[in-house]
Amino acid sequence: MARLIDGKEQKKLDQAFCEKTGLPMLTLMEQAAAEMTEEIESSLFYDTNVHVLVVTGSGNNGGDGWASARQLMAKGVRVIVFDAAPESALTKDAAAQREAFRRMGGYVMNDAAGIEGKRVAVVLDALFGTGFSSSRPLDATTKTAFALMKDLAHEGAKIVACDVPSGLDAKTGAVIPETVKADMTVTFGRNKVGLVTHPGCLYSDRVVCAPISMTDAFVDEVLGEERISALDNDVIHPLLPRRPKDAHKGQFGKALLIGGAEGMIGALILAARACSKTGAGYTMLRAPESSVPILANAMPSALISAVPAGEDTKRDLPNPTVIAIGPGAGDAPWVTKALSHLLLKDVPLIIDADGLNALARMPNASDLFEKRAASGAPPAILTPHPGEFGRLAPDLADTLVANRIEAAGALALRWQVIVVLKGMATVIAMPDGRIWINTTGDSSLAKAGSGDVLTGMIAGMIAQSPLMDGTHMALREVIQQTMEGAVARAVFAHGLAAKFSTQEVNERFGTTPEDIVDAIRVVLSATYEGCSVHRCSNGLNFL
């Protein structure tokens, strides 16, 4: 996983670097500019008959832009700088860079008319950096700069963002209406939260992270333990442990999935198939009596039991390693009863879909989670989409809109649970405040049933995890870490499977949850062998 930081943390790193090394801030500025210069130069394909427009503001982000403009000019590139802060008091280092560019004979303009008749291939957006606040009023020149970048983008110019696209909040990913989508973002030190989370990820596109001489040891020393991280390829090699040749089904866990009310049986079938294809040794289903024949026909490999009637309980299935409740469960009273019972059981528990809706209607939900935590049971896993989240925590509705990370973290802390807040850049929030943001998946997941597939994959991953067979239940901390890893791998692999399915048919709107289920074993097999799923001109390959 890769550490993510915000603007304040980047500023802290910059200051600590200068103090530790004795080097001035201009050194970091030159390194940052050099990374952008290299990316821009390579994108021009040696066509020096086009122009690069650098748009600069008054802060150090603008200073990076001035430095890159000077470096590009030295390489023979035709550079124009649009100075959006001609009357502003620049920071000391930005002012030095502006003066250096001017002394080297660089061309500066303050009026958009100066770009007329010039063919601009690349725009370097160095207007605002990580310190930007949406409450900051935009003056007329700044608005002109934004409009100019947007017009040039419409005409085909590529936008390269310096550190973050201007107008994007590095902490939350929120953007102002004027923000121009970048084709590439070159960020410095460490990647920014706002570039990975939604909606910022829609504006940052391909992100190149330049460490500018900041080692991992230095970053850890200055900032301490990671709080927010991005799921990356480190999560998937391998997704699952290698299986011995003499393995048997009892070694890979028993997953019990509960739901499948009449008219919604398909949700449980999707979850069950995903669980089985993820590799669980046993896939066990519990559903209303009327659904059992259909389930038996759809999942002949599963062990199936009917939901008990009245106040009875049933023990007609092996003790599960993990339980998931909710896919297609409906709103029958038995769902609430089952939740009240399961939340107090010492077994990993996933609550999804109608399980979450039932939970939202339970006035004693907080008490049940408090008792679960006090008993030492592992934290429950809640997998809401935004609508379900709003029903679970209506008081966090405004927070959810403004900052998905903060909202997910607040609910995880409140109930001491693991929250998987679904959507683009799915947020995984841990009860201790750590946050992971997923980086896989696409809009093919925007279909009913995709969440059921994810629930089944999480159950299957947990079922197979080491120490989940009940023989080491005293190792609570290790079990929780194992569960967290399983959740991260399932979310990451779910997105990979969606991407694989999309590429296989070369479209997103026609990809179905069933396609994603079929792709699970392909993705797991590829990553099991230490490969990556890759799309190339002649089809799909494993590299």
In a shared domain, residues 286 and 210:
no
Q: What pLDDT score was predicted for residue 116?
A: 86
The reported pTM is: 0.92
- What span, in angstroms and rounded, lies between the C-alpha atoms of 381 and 394? 19
DSSP state of 227: S
* Domain presence at residue 429: yes
- Chain position carrying tokens 């390194």: 31
Whether the CB-CB separation of 144 and 85 falls below 8 Å is answered with no
> Longest Cα pair distance anywhere in the chain, in angstroms?
86
Domain extent for 497: 253-309+317-536
* Domain presence at residue 243: no
Structure tokens, 448: 């009913």
In a shared domain, residues 221 and 257:
no
Going from the C-alpha of 184 to that of each of 30, 53, 120, the distances in angstroms are 19, 15, 16
Phi first, then psi: what are they for 540, rounded to 5°?
-100, 135
pLDDT at 157 over 80: yes
Q: What pLDDT score was predicted for residue 47?
A: 67
Question: 209 in helix, strand or coil?
Answer: strand
Of 230, 265, 294, which residue constitutes the final position of a domain?
230
* Percent of the chain residues past pLDDT 90, beyond the cut: 78
pLDDT at 264 over 80: yes
Q: What pLDDT score was predicted for residue 250?
A: 85
- What span, in angstroms and rounded, lies between the C-alpha atoms of 426 and 435? 10
Structure tokens, 467: 């120490």
In a shared domain, residues 488 and 401:
yes
For the chain, what is the domain count?
Answer: 2
In a shared domain, residues 169 and 70:
yes
Whichever domain contains 140, its CATH number is 3.40.50.10260
Q: What pLDDT score was predicted for residue 535?
A: 38
Please write the tens of the pLDDT for every residue from 472-515. 444 677 778 889 999 999 999 999 999 988 876 556 677 899 99
Whether the CB-CB separation of 36 and 68 falls below 8 Å is answered with yes
Q: What pLDDT score was predicted for residue 112?
A: 86
* Domain presence at residue 541: no
DSSP state of 76: T
Q: Which residue has the higher pLDDT, 329 or 465?
A: 329
* Domain presence at residue 239: no
In a shared domain, residues 302 and 198:
no
In a shared domain, residues 188 and 46:
yes
Number of alpha carbons in the 13 Å side-chain half-sphere of residue 41: 16
Q: How does residue 9 score in pLDDT terms, banded at 50, 70 and 90?
A: very high
Q: How does residue 335 score in pLDDT terms, banded at 50, 70 and 90?
A: very high
Please write the tens of the pLDDT for every residue from 91-145. 999 999 999 999 999 999 988 888 888 899 999 999 999 999 888 899 999 999 9
Strands 206-210 and 228-230: unpaired
Structure tokens, 482: 């194992």
Q: What pLDDT score was predicted for residue 251?
A: 84
Going from the C-alpha of 43 to that of each of 36, 119, 121, the distances in angstroms are 11, 15, 9
- What span, in angstroms and rounded, lies between the C-alpha atoms of 85 and 295? 67
Mean pLDDT of the chain: 91
Please write the tens of the pLDDT for every residue from 285-320. 999 999 999 999 999 999 999 998 765 666 788 899
Q: What pLDDT score was predicted for residue 281?
A: 93
- What span, in angstroms and rounded, lies between the C-alpha atoms of 390 and 338? 22
* Domain presence at residue 160: yes
Question: 490 in helix, strand or coil?
Answer: helix
Q: What pLDDT score was predicted for residue 466?
A: 65
* Domain presence at residue 242: no
In a shared domain, residues 458 and 529:
yes
Q: What pLDDT score was predicted for residue 505?
A: 58
Q: What secondary structure, in 3-state letters, does 135-203 show? A: CCCCCHHHHHHHHHHHHHHHCCCEEEEECCCCCECCCCCCECCCCCCCCEEEEECCCEHHHHCCCCHHH
- What span, in angstroms and rounded, lies between the C-alpha atoms of 500 and 69? 40
Q: Which of 79-83, 277-281, 313-317, 428-432 has the lowest mean pLDDT?
A: 313-317
Please write the tens of the pLDDT for every residue from 158-193. 999 999 999 999 999 999 999 999 999 999 999 999
* Domain presence at residue 497: yes
In a shared domain, residues 183 and 276:
no
Going from the C-alpha of 6 to that of each of 226, 234, 242, 506, 542, the distances in angstroms are 12, 22, 38, 36, 35
- What span, in angstroms and rounded, lies between the C-alpha atoms of 45 and 368? 62
In a shared domain, residues 286 and 169:
no
Going from the C-alpha of 226 to that of each of 6, 211, 216, 432, the distances in angstroms are 12, 16, 11, 12
CA 462, chain centre distance (Å): 20
Q: What pLDDT score was predicted for residue 395?
A: 97
Q: What pLDDT score was predicted for residue 540?
A: 35
In a shared domain, residues 157 and 269:
no
- What span, in angstroms and rounded, lies between the C-alpha atoms of 438 and 197? 8
CA 257, chain centre distance (Å): 26
Going from the C-alpha of 471 to that of each of 315, 466, 537, the distances in angstroms are 20, 10, 49
- What span, in angstroms and rounded, lies between the C-alpha atoms of 385 and 389? 6
Q: What would the mean pLDDT of 243-271 be, rounded to a whole number?
A: 92
Phi first, then psi: what are they for 466, rounded to 5°?
-60, 150
Whichever domain contains 350, its CATH number is 3.40.1190.20
* Domain presence at residue 241: no
Please write the tens of the pLDDT for every residue from 357-379. 999 999 999 999 999 999 999 99
Of 230, 264, 290, which residue constitutes the final position of a domain?
230
DSSP state of 126: E
Q: What would the mean pLDDT of 57-84 be, rounded to a whole number?
A: 96
